[in-house]
Structure 1
Amino acid sequence: MSATRVFVARLAGCTVFDPAGDRVGKVRDVLVVYRKNDPPSVVGLIVEIPGKRRVFVSINRVTSIGSGQIITTGLINVRRYEQRGGEVRVIAELLGRKVLFTDGSGEATIEDVAIKEGTEADWAISQLFVRRPKTSASPFVKGVTSFATWAEVREKETKGQAQSAEHLIATYSDLKPADLANTLLDLPRERMFEVAGELPDDRLADVLEEMPESDQVGILTSLGDARAADVLDQMQPDDAADLIAQLPEERGEQLLDLMEPEEAEDVRFLLSYAPDTAGGLMTTEPIIVSADATVAEGLARIRRHDLAPALGAAICVTLPPYEAPTGRFLGMVHFQRMLRYPPHERLGTLLDAGLDPVTADTSAAEVSRILASYDLVSVPVVDENYRLVGVVTIDDVLDYLLPDDWRSHDGNDDVRRRAAARSELRTGSIPLPGAQRTPRGPQ
């Protein structure tokens, strides 16, 4: 192999390639097993392959680790990974554990783990990067860090006990919401609730939007009412409405009463529509401007970093007021058309005359047909007075069309393939090549 020592926290998210240079997946964790007298031995990697499936890749199948990438022999077993007795996930279970120094000098927290290749191509834990407790009351001071060998420390906590939620969250801080959601779903249920409870409100809101409804409800139920309402405030109104609709009516009303009035109003508005209609699918927060707004102003609105790509594909033009329900709807201007005109051009002159809005009671099936027939990313929704009340985006429709359990780990292969296709549509990523299948053998 090309590397002799590797820090595990830096492997999270690294791309795994086969010998031909095709992407196989991404590293999500490293597996070790404890030994009686020697440091834990590395047995393999947990790799996420297309379809959000996590598989085991034996360390013997890895030929190179370095430069942010991992090369394998290309032969992997694509059966979904299930943790076996004695296996410990370094990132999910070992980082953040408390250890005691055997020389009696105190305790420390494991912040990273270095693995090293031995003389016989076997890998084991070589060093621990640890941090001592801080000695100052100042919030800006941290404890002293140092390296320690496995023999120089002993675990303070029971084997198998997971690390602090804080360290797990820090390790996965760069994951996209869908990947973090998948990571949480791999944890034991109580552990998932603990980690979810430590996430910031906006981060947890993004993660919940990527989870199956049953897990959304479970996590929200595990939170206190005030915290749950804060998280709902951070969610897209249509996603928050879908989640509240799954709760008992009394609980839903309690949370709505605790939410910010403006956010709660949007959610109540969406809950008034049947789920299989345009009103039930739409979001109430598209970009809305006046006809006098310029191309420069429109492009500035689209550049907002927190704007979903589907909502940034077009701008709605209406009469005042400019929040749903607006004044009379005038039309939409597509992002690509704005790029063809000078910055001072008025958006009212660039309206798409061929795009008709749908009404809030239009069936979801009809909305799907319109999006597919005209290659649209979104379609405006108006009420009986021709006021804009929202837009239905392509991912809203995909959520409706896909099976209820499409995010579930227990679905069949067809469900997983469709879930992967949806993720590729949303992110614009290129489908990864499928891994080769091999019979399950000794791991």
Structure 2
Amino acid sequence: MAVVTPRVFVSHLAGIAVFDPNGDQVGRVRDLVAMLRVRGRPPRLLGLVVEVVSRRRIFLPMTRVTGVESGQVITTGVVNMRRFEQRASETLVLGELLDRRVSLVETGEEATVLDIGISQLPARRDWEIDKVFVRKGKGGALRNRFLRREAPPSKGGGRRAGETLTVEWSAVTGFSLEEHGQGAENLLATFEQLRPADLASALHHLTPKRRGEVAAALDDDRLADVLEELPEDDRVEIMGKLQEERAADVLEAMDPDDAADLLSELPEDEKERLLGLMRPDDAADVRRLMAYEERTAGGLMTTEPIVLRPDATIADALARVRDPDLSPSLAAQVYVCRPPDETPTGKYLGLVHFQRLLRDPPFTLVSSVADTDLPPLPPGTPLNEVTSYLATYNMVAAPVVDESGSLLGAVTVDDVLDHLLPDDWREAEMHGPPGAAADREGEPDDGR
């Protein structure tokens, strides 16, 4: 059996890989499930919430964990693939305990939970929470997170305000109370390396209250990316909890087509208020997209493709393509147009694929290598014809041009896929296939 680490802090477990005995990856740790106990007794750790390849979340009992070491979790070969459903008696360690405000028993001082320590009981596979890493005071979470140390007493016998220290579970109180105004900084710290789609999945599985707190703690750009990956109900719920000025800022940070999709899900009066709070240029782009039918090239397109003038060089094009904020599909090609450079542009002349940019000298004009034979799409092109166009010409994006010859935007393959999949595909992906949440009667013992 692998040697088990005597104590692990849960921030080190978030997102790490879970392997079976053969070395095949089962999934990644997204949370830990504990059961709080009375009279200050350390909570029993029941198991891990593991996100498998399909992004379904399953429960892995701690009795099936044979090793926690070197940034990975090793399990027995038996894994129950039924979808995880939190029970009333259970607490999610990352989702519900981090950032909680508690009190130190010895002094009565308030503190914020930055991390939780777990350990395995001797000669058993049972685990329990035995340590709490806190920051004293009422302020926000420590920015330099998870730098654990036992803090020495000050000369006056007390500890410094804002000091961080690791204490026994029994040395703090407040975990059993419903938390009001709980922060989210340390929960976000455990998930800061997640892709937007994975963070969206994490948000989806939080309680509505906690989801709102985490959304409020994200910066505008990160929240914008996450909203683009969430199911419709979650997006509307989160937007409804944001102050209108903040909601408008987040909409400005979103891709215009995604912002238009989100606004279309809101009541008409709320939609107009938010558009009125947005910057005029951003609001104009969104209004233009909302004027087209949803399942047409105009309704699917983004208004921010890479546009270059005819006298731009391949070096100029490569510099634009390198922008890390561009999606791979938008960075795959540039569009050559006469001024103005913003959509709707001057006359559309053609496009240059990224591969062509790599084959010609940097000083070459993009207009001399542009593909002028590929027909652009009119904005009213229906979805099925857009799909056929991308498949026929082996493209990942297509130009959308109006009757006057101006480039209006570009339709990308990822936006097309969003509309080809069932309307509830995001919910199905996060919850698993139908029947995954069937009653657990007759299942093998899961340690709960």
Deviates more, 1:126-135 or 1:401-410: 126-135
Cα distance in structure 2, aligned partners of 1:349 and 1:176:
38
Q: Residue 241 of structure 1 is aligned with which of 260, 265, 289?
A: 260
* Preserved CA contact (<8 Å) 1:381 1:392: yes
**Alignment pair present for 1:331 and 2:335:** no
Q: Residue 385 of structure 1 is aligned with which of 385, 399, 404?
A: 404
* Preserved CA contact (<8 Å) 2:54 2:429: no
| Amino acid paired to 1:406 | W
Cα distance in structure 2, aligned partners of 1:307 and 1:234:
13
Query: How far apart are residue 271 of structure 1 and its match?
Result: 0.9
CA 1:326 to 1:279, structure 2 compared with 1: closer, same or farther past 3 Å? same
Query: Counterpart in 1 of 2:84?
Result: 81
Q: Residue 117 of structure 1 is aligned with which of 120, 125, 135?
A: 120
Cα distance in structure 2, aligned partners of 1:230 and 1:296:
33
Query: Counterpart in 2 of 1:67?
Result: 70
| Amino acid paired to 1:111 | L
Query: Counterpart in 2 of 1:402?
Result: 421
The C-alpha deviation readout for 1:33-53, integer Å capped at 9, x for no partner, is: 123463111111001112221
**Alignment pair present for 1:251 and 2:255:** no
Question: What TM-score does the superposition give when structure 1 sets the normalisation length?
Answer: 0.89
Cα distance in structure 2, aligned partners of 1:196 and 1:412:
20
The alignment partner of 1:28 has SS state of strand
Deviates more, 1:339-348 or 1:157-166: 157-166
Cα distance in structure 1, aligned partners of 2:388 and 2:104:
66
| Amino acid paired to 1:121 | R
* Preserved CA contact (<8 Å) 1:100 1:156: no
**Alignment pair present for 1:32 and 2:34:** yes
| Amino acid paired to 1:7 | F
* Preserved CA contact (<8 Å) 2:56 2:430: no
Query: How far apart are residue 223 of structure 1 and its match?
Result: 2.0
Q: Residue 131 of structure 2 is aligned with which of 127, 141, 149?
A: 127
The C-alpha deviation readout for 1:357-378, integer Å capped at 9, x for no partner, is: 1110111110011112222110
The aligned length equals 420
What aligned pairs does 1:303-342 form with structure 2 within 5 A after superposition? 303-342=322-361
* Preserved CA contact (<8 Å) 1:98 1:109: yes
Query: Counterpart in 1 of 2:242?
Result: 223
Query: Counterpart in 2 of 1:422?
Result: none
Query: How far apart are residue 320 of structure 1 and its match?
Result: 1.0
Query: Counterpart in 1 of 2:22?
Result: 20
CA 1:118 to 1:395, structure 2 compared with 1: closer, same or farther past 3 Å? same
Query: How far apart are residue 409 of structure 1 and its match?
Result: 4.6
Question: What TM-score does the superposition give when structure 2 sets the normalisation length?
Answer: 0.88
* Preserved CA contact (<8 Å) 1:134 1:142: no
The C-alpha deviation readout for 1:72-100, integer Å capped at 9, x for no partner, is: 22321111101113211111111112222
Query: How far apart are residue 187 of structure 1 and its match?
Result: 1.6
Query: How far apart are residue 439 of structure 1 and its match?
Result: 5.0
Deviates more, 1:101-110 or 1:327-336: 101-110
Identity across the alignment (%): 49
**Alignment pair present for 1:361 and 2:380:** yes
The alignment partner of 1:242 has SS state of helix
The C-alpha deviation readout for 1:191-218, integer Å capped at 9, x for no partner, is: 3223222322222111111112222222
* Preserved CA contact (<8 Å) 1:114 1:128: yes
* Preserved CA contact (<8 Å) 1:406 1:415: no
* Preserved CA contact (<8 Å) 1:92 1:163: no
Q: Residue 146 of structure 1 is aligned with which of 165, 171, 175?
A: 165
Query: How far apart are residue 25 of structure 1 and its match?
Result: 1.0
Cα distance in structure 2, aligned partners of 1:236 and 1:223:
19
What aligned pairs does 1:85-234 form with structure 2 within 5 A after superposition? 85-104=88-107, 106-119=109-122, 120-133=124-137, 143-155=162-174, 158=177, 163-234=182-253
Query: How far apart are residue 162 of structure 1 and its match?
Result: 8.7
Q: Residue 11 of structure 1 is aligned with which of 13, 21, 31?
A: 13
CA 1:18 to 1:212, structure 2 compared with 1: closer, same or farther past 3 Å? same
Cα distance in structure 2, aligned partners of 1:383 and 1:159:
56
The C-alpha deviation readout for 1:332-381, integer Å capped at 9, x for no partner, is: 11112211222222211222345221110111110011112222110110
Q: Gaps (5+ residues) in structure 1?
A: 417-437
The C-alpha deviation readout for 1:101-129, integer Å capped at 9, x for no partner, is: 22225232211111112211221123211
Cα distance in structure 1, aligned partners of 2:359 and 2:167:
61
| Amino acid paired to 2:81 | V
* Preserved CA contact (<8 Å) 1:281 1:397: yes
Cα distance in structure 2, aligned partners of 1:191 and 1:411:
18
CA 1:168 to 1:442, structure 2 compared with 1: closer, same or farther past 3 Å? closer
CA 1:289 to 1:415, structure 2 compared with 1: closer, same or farther past 3 Å? farther
**Alignment pair present for 1:53 and 2:78:** no
Cα distance in structure 1, aligned partners of 2:47 and 2:213:
27
* Preserved CA contact (<8 Å) 2:33 2:45: yes
Please report the RMSD computed on the Cα atoms of aligned residues, expressed in angstroms: 2.5
Cα distance in structure 1, aligned partners of 2:161 and 2:57:
35
CA 1:403 to 1:150, structure 2 compared with 1: closer, same or farther past 3 Å? same
The alignment partner of 1:407 has SS state of helix
The alignment partner of 1:408 has SS state of helix
